[in-house]
Amino acid sequence: MHRRLAGYTVFNRLLELSRRADPHLRAPHSRYGTRYQRRGIARAVYEWALGSGMCLISGPRQSAGAHALWRALASRHELGYVDLRDRRLEFLGPRVDRETLGDLHARMVLLGRGWSFEELMHATGARPSSAGDTRLRSHYHRNLLLPESHAARIRS
């Protein structure tokens, strides 16, 4: 048996995020050797992260394979879109048009276990988009309290 490294996944901090949003979002980056691609390794690693409550944000550009992975993960984890500009997040909603998705500021977000977009918006200080989900806009303006489990994350 030969011992070799199949690849890696890192969960990067994004310098573009505000200090308030930084503890709650990580941008994963994976690189696996050709022999180890399309075997579900990256998906298993991402599932572990999401299952442990980590929320993931995409980078400004994704390969076709990465985009397909995120779409597959969206079958088990809630997916939404944000605009990240000037260290501020704006929630765009659960779907965006192709033109918006092509913008460098548009990012996908996958929610970790135990999170809702309402809670993530509150925790990160994200603003609802004027074109976003009206249910989230009304929630944001009511400024509801978070469950204790998420409030503890914010305080630390």
**What are the sequence ranges of the domains in the chain?**
7-155
2-59, pLDDT tens digit by residue?
Answer: 788 889 999 999 889 999 999 999 999 999 888 888 888 999 999 999 999 999 999 8
104-132, pLDDT tens digit by residue?
Answer: 889 999 999 999 999 999 999 998 887 54
Work out the burial of residue 15: count CB atoms within 10 Å of its CB; fewer than 13 is exposed, 13-18 middle, 19 or more buried: exposed
Q: How confident is the model at residue 74, as a pLDDT? A: 95
Q: How confident is the model at residue 98, as a pLDDT? A: 84
Whole-Å CA distances, 9 to 37, 63, 85, 113: 13, 15, 25, 19
Q: How confident is the model at residue 131, as a pLDDT? A: 57
Identify residue 42 by its one-letter amino acid code: A
66-80, pLDDT tens digit by residue?
Answer: 889 999 999 999 999
